[in-house]
Chains A and B, each alone.
Chain A
Amino acid sequence: MVKMTGAEMLLECMKKEKVSQIFGYPGGVVLPIFDALYKDPSLSVVLTRHEQGAVHAAEGYARTTGEVGVVLVTSGPGATNTVTGLADAHMDSIPLVVITGQVPTKMIGNDAFQEADIVGISRSCTKHNFLVRNIAELPRIVKEAFYIARSGRPGPVLVDIPKDVITDRGEFRYPETLTLRGYNPTVQGNRWQIRKAAQLMAKAKKPVLYVGGGVIASDSHGELAELVALSGIPVTLTLMGLGAFPGTHPLFMGMLGMHGTYAANMAVHHCDLLIAVGARFDDRVTGKIAEFSPHSKVIHIDIDPTSIRKNFHVDVPIVGDARLILSDLLEDLRKIRDEEGLTPLDSWHRQIEDWKEEHPLTYRKDPEVIKPQFVIEKAFDLTGGDCIVSTDVGQHQMWTAQFFKFLTPRTWLTSGGLGTMGYGFPAAIGAQRAFPKRRVLAVTGEGSFMMNIQEMATVASLEIPVKIIVLNNKYLGMVRQWQEFFYGGRYSSSFIGQSPDFVKLAEAFGVAGFRASKTDQVEEVLLKGLSTKGPVLMEFMVDPEENVFPMVPAGGSNVEMIFEAPPQPKAGKSGRREKDAVITA
């Protein structure tokens, strides 16, 4: 048996788990691990410039590859800086293993230098976490961490390793199997329930498939496509589900919910059967829950039993892996088709086409002022959709979700559940590391971008060719939109016109920068930016007061969509910006 240090053991464990990429930041107690990494060329480390960036990068890596993202940071502030990323991954079911250093076992609880109770702090924002208490249990815990992170409903797992465990020596034996008597996720769906679901689907006159990120996590987009081809059931996707079904398919209705399409929200409201697959009836999807899909029977397929009946009633719950369940469902549905036939959906399709025509996704074009939606449309046209796109959070995120047509799964990275500004750019870095040859776009706003702007140093130093699109409207746009609609146009703390010159800033970091200020410059800047080698920042000075439509006001029913700003008393508007400028100055 080989004796090795805890640090070396950790790296051996990672290799057994087929890890090749780590995102991290060194510090005191993890120095022995970074030293071991220095000697071991099989594991590559991306040094981000902030631990939060490392976690989001690992999320981007995990979401695009389907593998577990790995983060390595030090104790204390290194560990606490991962908390937002952990919470983000927890909400969006992203498999991560985050390794944090800890002060030596004997000093835990003594308020030692750079000590933080990260196991306590992260308990509610991880799927599970561990404190390794001696070197003997290190391999088992790492194995369990990877297994828990990627199985069932995926999520982040934190492993806290004290300094003395890192430096101790022990015999390395990686367990072949593991026994977690309290953890045994259901993967196979109940056959009887599936049959019931198939019968409902065969009989429904106005069915809708409401599909979320679970279909991407379980790689069941193929089964979904077959199911739609067989049944003709129209599809709406959640924000997390985009890419699970081609955005250009005639039976695709667009995203649903607060900024969903008119057709999708109308269809969900009027359907007689709602088939939720890997979605969790989030409040941004349902709007006023009492008026959500009021006429439908509900089938809910999810791997997490707690998702079922958490927010919404269900008639046929099916717990398990979406891929297995959808293929069973296909089998049953084919049988019904052959024996009894399926209900034709022609009039339902016509109804949906009418809704699509009644209120398509649209915006007012302008020959002078750049419309943000136009930038997204152009980016889609110029790339043919063949790229990975990440976003931050806010208006630009919704416009990208609406106007970029995602064609394949694992090409769309966004912070859905937690809504983390600062997610997108580092996530794009992770995606680009996973796919060095693919084109990766990070769409962001000047507000979100500032929250992890330090990662420009990361892309510059490692020549990670992420293409950053900053839609600069000089406001925290979504906040401003809500203030315009619901707070009498009082733009409190939402004006951020004093942002730095992003093009100059990019250049200072060593990133190429371009700017477009007029509509006719958009295509030129995009072409220039996309064809420039290495990391690029493209700043688009867009209409400051453009809004995201349609919109369901918070707490409203999904059929109460608005398509223009509600009438506002315009008094005081002229003095507003000046005042805001004073506040922000």
Chain B
Amino acid sequence: MKKSHIFALVVIAAAIGIIIANTGDASTYVSFDQAYQMASTGNNTQIHVVGDLKKDANGNIVGIEKSADKLSFSFILIDENQKEQKVYYNEPMPPDFTRSEKVVVIGGYQNNSFVASKILLKCPSKYQEEKINTSSL
């Protein structure tokens, strides 16, 4: 066997090792029910849940509660299985939050309530006005 072949083998082994190590640590997108089960079995890894904000019949977002100092807030997220869950977020409401189409929360259950450590927003058009401000007419 030539040295270059050994080198190639080492590289391939390293690449496979990287893939295994990566995926072993990867978090997954789950539903609230699965997340709850994971937490109750003592699995405290951070998981991702994708969902929509709860809206009333007129399309207005309902269920956002800001704390008195506006430094933290909670909202209601409906996951893919239509399960509603109140999510707590220990940071001020992110810009664009109410305009987002979909919300990804990263976190986990702590004593029956879902606490997000990070929120990702999917906005229909980020940084772009949806409706024109006609008041400036």
Q: Do A and B bind each other?
A: no
**Which residues of A approach B to under 8 Å, CB–CB?**
none
B residues touching A (Cβ–Cβ < 8 Å)?
A: none
